[in-house]
Structure 1
Amino acid sequence: MQSKILPPPLQPGDLLRVIAPSGALREFEALGQSVRIWRSRGYQVEIFPKIDDKWGYLAGKDENRTQQLAAAWQDPDCRGILCVRGGFGSTRILENWNWQTNSTSPKWLIGFSDITALLWSLYTAGISSVHAPVLTTLVDEPDWSTQRLFDLVEGRPLTPLKGCGWGGGIARGMLLPGNLTVATHLLATPILPNLDGVILALEDVTEAPYRIDRMLTQWRLSGALQKLRGIALGSFYRCEAPQNIPSFTVGEVLRDRLGDLGIPIVSDLPFGHDIPNAALPVGVQVTLDADQGILDFS
């Protein structure tokens, strides 16, 4: 499998740009606190002037959000891009987007949830990125999770993550983490990466079990799951069924829709919309041990 370009490790003093490519910003206090965390590490953090724009549920019109991403990506002095929040909107700015990887040096792109679309698009362009807390959630992370994010972007080794192994042995492949809902809406689009040999890491939030079932059934019908080497499952936070309505639990749905694939699977890993949301590299080789329940980054 083709390796991805890993951006150079960040160092104190590096310039980071803050953009809002998705939903409208509401958590101003959390944003300020998270920016201070990055600055306390010695980084220069510049916030895009129109970060608080609103256009319906979006953080400004598509052209404005595209300009933010382009300005950060094309800035030769910028070493990393910090996304403000998820929500919805990043796929809208990818319709005619080109990463222009030949004219810019690779830089870190950090976020999760709706930012999945940007992470996966960058993956298809051959560049690794980071599935990690956005700037409206970083402040809520425990110290070890925050340190893990800095370890990742500053070039230090990552400790393994422990979950619940479903059995099925050990797999090694390229890690591709993301939000299940966003990823499902990338099926049959040019943004969907080549999944051959991938270890797919999925999480979600506030989706009823029947909706998780529907999405995973779409993955099954598409044939995409048959290409994978393994699956790593994070938190499925607040994905309970409505009260007084017959339902499976989300855990039962995951077992039913994924348990017969014949590949290693580990669930209950500490990443996703729940706390903690452990940083995961996008596009690096990892080992998934479904007998021991371990995701190893060495």
Structure 2
Amino acid sequence: MDLIGVTGAPGNVGTPLVAELLARGARVRVLARRPEHARQVLGDELGEAAAGLDYGHLDFGNRRTYVAAFRGVRRLFVTRPPQLSQVQRDMVPALDVALGAGVEHMALLSIQGAERIRFVPHAKLEQYMQESGVAYTFLRPSFFMQNLTTTHLPELRRGEIYVPAGGGRTSFVDVRDVAEAGAVVLTGEGHENRAYELTGSEALTYGEVAAKFTAATGRLVRYADPSPLAFFRHMRARGVATGQIIVMEGIYATARFGIAGRVTPELARLLGRAPRSVDDFARDTVAPLLREGA
């Protein structure tokens, strides 16, 4: 089986993706900025399964790490590090080296609506891959449920969902399902030069999500619905980089403008089952997390 390189591990999608690939008997190289840290974290998360992993040093922006990282890799899962907004400068040179090293298929973790929101970094990466001649697969997931328990955890712990999405609906998706779809794409055939819009089975407002979290946890969770400016100031005060906040603002704007609520059957088709629901996530992830933080 081809050697599969995975960027973004450990991470929300990267860790379960590596687990899914190993379960399918794939040969996997984790490409990380801190490979020894990745080895420790994945060992803790995956246990004995992680023993078969290969690790490579890949630091986007540090050209000296590129050649060795991609040597022997034929399929590559590409995740944009959140802090990198200038992908033409920081990521494309690395992907050029990957092509030269023999990578034949790239699966990109993009975002829902990337084909319409051309200013986001994901759209620029999609354009690059389409023009490069490599076989590509774009995974365009809707908003990750897990963003609310990672990026927005401080606010959730105080009983708020604090995002500038207005009253728009979002077809939330669980990263575990996205990771499984990524493993299907990277280990199967027939996914070349395709784009998959990966959503859950229903579209909800953030107010409805807050109500589900309240019901599952027994703690009041409310949707604050800040303005884009208030959200920007709040996240800057938390120390989040300006470029990262701008990308987040673009993502939440899709909900505010009514274009994040699209529900598709594509994830269910790839998985052969229904995607996890927000109710599932509220019970198995949010409830234990808020109990720990009580």
Q: Confirm or deny a common fold (TM above 0.5).
A: no
After TM superposition, the score normalised by the length of structure 1 is 0.38
After TM superposition, the score normalised by the length of structure 2 is 0.38
Query: With CA pairs under 8 Å and 6+ residues apart, which has the higher RCO, 1 or 2?
Result: 1
Structure with the higher fraction of residues in strand conformation: 1
Structure with the higher fraction of residues in helix conformation: 2
